[in-house]
Amino acid sequence: MIRHPDTVIKGGRLIDASGEQSGDILISDGHIVAVGQDLQGEILIDAGGCIVSPGLVDLHAHLRQPGKEETETIASGARAAVLGGYTAVLAMPNTTPTIDCAAVVREVLELGRASVCDVHTTGAITVGRAGEQLAPMAEMAALGVKVFTDDGTGVQDDRLMRRAMEYASGLGLTLAQHCEVNSLSEGTCMHEGEWSARLGLPGQPSESEELMVMRDIALARLTGAKIHFQHMSTAGSAALIAAAKAKGMAVTAEAAPHHFTLTDACCEHYDATFKVHPPLRSQSDLEAIKNALAAGSLDAIATDHAPHAAEDKELPFDQAPPGMLGLEYALALAFSELVDGGEMTEAEVLAAMSWRPAAIAGMDNHGQRLVVGVPANLCVIDPSQRWVIDATGGASLSRNVPYVGKEVRGKVRHTIVFGEVVVRDGEVQR
């Protein structure tokens, strides 16, 4: 194991699941070895005026490797992640080939180990994400995969989804669902509503998402399976999940930053940068997602980071692929929209971006309280720094950024992964 110099983070606001305090953190051999005042180390990180938090955890990132390395690689996605304060990301399986067997899992994990971030991977629920035959979840679980999803498509067959839940439940695994009923969404390219009518574009009704949320809540109740709902976008979905939680069901759910910052009105100029699935919804849906995050019925903020080549996003709106970048912008968007908007505190945002997603994904080395003995996976955030998002795409190989020109608050200054300072003063160190 490579030894990294003892590092002390001095004078920060320490925020974790237990609350907030002021002090220093000393890191040695990849772990926190002291928390207190006037600590000393070989490397000094000045956290004056900054928040020190457990590293962020992204439940939903498309790293595109294997198969689409021209748009993103695990290495480039990992660099984007740590610049955004993430110490761990969960890669989606819609790669080429699909992450649906042990061999591809091994490839992704090996590439992840060489990167600057702790890269975990999901496995597909069905072979090739075709929705016809269950993938060998047990063999992938034996390699450490804990979450399975056909993300990009929802499992359409009710009986197959029930079988998947029963199988996963027996193995202690979590199923994550992309909720979209194909018979209602096929051929659509944005939210069905006023703006789709104005633009003459085929719209996807909210019910496409909500019907699958309803079905999977029912199947989870039947099977006892752990189900996680991905990128919830409608008021109806948020209400269904809140009702399930009120009945004591152990369901979890996430929202993506674009669903609490952007609406379908952004599609006004047919710019495919704003095309995403599920689509940008109405203003009332956006407010409902904000409220659900504030109430905790939506547990986590996940980026749904989805890089695409420029030439693909330049296609006509109805032909362009859906997706947008998120890893480097999610925290600042959450601070700017949710904290400054009065819906959440900084600590509540960090809960939704660190320790709660870590618990959902079963990442025991992340999101831990800032106490002696835990792995040193941390980020240092300057909450007062204001900056304007530009079109560069940051560390990503792609440039499909929907927030260009937006002024935001909150900048990650340092990120530490297992004791290594991988981002220092906003720059990736390797």
> What is the rounded distance in angstroms from the CA atom of residue 151 to the CA atom of residue 280?
17
Whether 340 is a known active-site residue: answer: no
Whether omega before 402 lies within 30 degrees of 0, making that bond cis, reads no
Residue 331: φ, ψ to 5°: -65, -45
- SS3 at position 363: coil
- SS3 at position 226: strand
Task: Concatenate the DSSP letters of all residues of 66-134 into one string.
Answer: TT-TTT--HHHHHHHHHHTTEEEEEE-S-SSS-S-SHHHHHHHHHHHHTSSSEEEE-B-SBGGG-SSSB
Q: At 174, which amino acid appears?
A: T
- Closest among 125, 68, 56 to 96, alpha carbons compared: 68
CB atoms within 10 A of CB 138: 14
- Closest among 141, 146, 178, 144 to 161, alpha carbons compared: 178
Catalytic option among 16, 216, 285, 304:
304
- Residue 246: both structure tokens together: 């009120």
Contact of 278 with 189, CB cutoff 8 Å: no
Q: Which residues contact 110 (CB under 8 A, 6 or more apart)?
A: none
Residue 20: φ, ψ to 5°: -135, 140
Give catalytic residues, as residue numbers.
304
